Chains A and B, each alone.
Chain A
Amino acid sequence: MQIEKKSEVKAEISTASMPDIVFMLLIFFMVVTTFKQFDGLPVRIPDAESTQKIEAGKRDIAYIWVDKANRRMLDDQFVAIEDLSPLVYSKRTANPKLVIALKADQNAHMKSITDVQQELRKAYALRVNYSTRTK
């Protein structure tokens, strides 16, 4: 009598749900990604021991660059000191959670920094973060 052959055990991993997994990851990365829009001015930011992460999302941060030649940039454009507060004010009205990240050069003079701070106070943008590197 002939014994029936055992059917071979299938040992394949099911790949049918692969596209679903990939799409899920894809959507995650699409949502999380914010494109870097600008490089700003070339500055060398100072070191500090008390450096901590900014408690705000990337979309709530406005960047101000100040270099040692006392040039200022707000996000992606050069600004004169007197234009700073209206621009920041409109940003702040659009987003009340606004945090200003001040990326100033180590060798910048305090005159330029305090000028910027005075303008920020006029615009009621009081949450400032001095960008530093961890020491």
Chain B
Amino acid sequence: MLKNKRKPESEIPTSSMADIAFLLLVFFLVTTTIDQDKGVPLTLPEISEEPPQKLEKDRVLDILIANSGKIMINEQVLSQRNQLRSEVRNSLEELGRDQDGKYKKIVSIKTQAQTMYDDYIYVLDQVKMAGATKISIAEPEE
């Protein structure tokens, strides 16, 4: 009598599935970069048709960064850079805070064409660290 023909196996081997998945997993683990972008946020003002409203002098703290990196607060040259934060803080305290707990005074930062970006970030950083929230970026002087 003839032996029964063995049925051909028609299964896909799945034992290596885990290996394949592991391989892909390792690939994605290695290629994923979790590093986050960091920086100092700032919202630019909208371009408006109407001329900017003039604010009273005592509501604004003017900071000018000259080409040389010298910092001027309300047209007075700051002799030492590290005084900036306390100077800004003192000036902010003069006007006090509004009902949201934010300082009322607006800090306006002006630069010149040849001012280094590094100096600008230094000033912006110090102003932020002093607690100012209303920061305006003035258009540079030519």
B121 x A109 contact (CB < 8 A)? no
Q: Tell me the B5-53 residues at the A interface (CB within 8 Å).
A: 17-18, 21-22, 24-25, 28-29, 31-33, 36-47
Query: B115 near A: Cβ within 8 Å?
Result: yes
How many angstroms between the C-alpha atoms of A48 and B124 in the bound complex?
9
A107 to B38, CA, bound (A): 19
Q: State the main secondary structure of chain A at its contact with B.
A: mixed
| Chain A stretch 25-61: residues in CB contact (< 8 A) with chain B | 25-26, 29-30, 32-33, 35-36, 46-55, 58, 61
Chain A 73-112, CB-CB to B under 8 Å as 1, else 0, gives 0000000000000000000000000000110111111110
Let me know if A101 and B31 touch, CB within 8 A.
no
User: How far, in angstroms, from A51 to B128 measured CA to CA in the complex?
Assistant: 10
- Interface residue total, chain B, C-beta cutoff 8 A: 42
Given known pairs A23-B21, A110-B112, A111-B140, the reply for A132 and B121 (CB within 8 Å) is yes
Q: Specify the main secondary structure of chain B where it touches its partner.
A: mixed
Q: Could you tell me if B40 and A50 are in contact, using CB atoms closer than 8 angstroms?
A: yes
| CB within 8 Å for A124 and B43 given contacts A26-B21, A50-B129 | no
Q: Which of B25, B29, B38, B42 contacts A128 (CB 8 A)?
A: B42
Sample of 9 A–B contacts (CB below 8 Å): A22-B21, A48-B122, A107-B118, A110-B116, A128-B44, A129-B40, A129-B41, A130-B39, A131-B38
- Residues in A lying within 8 Å of B, measured CB to CB: 18-19, 22-23, 25-26, 29-30, 32-33, 35-36, 46-55, 58, 61, 66, 101-102, 104-111, 113-114, 117-118, 120-122, 124, 126-134
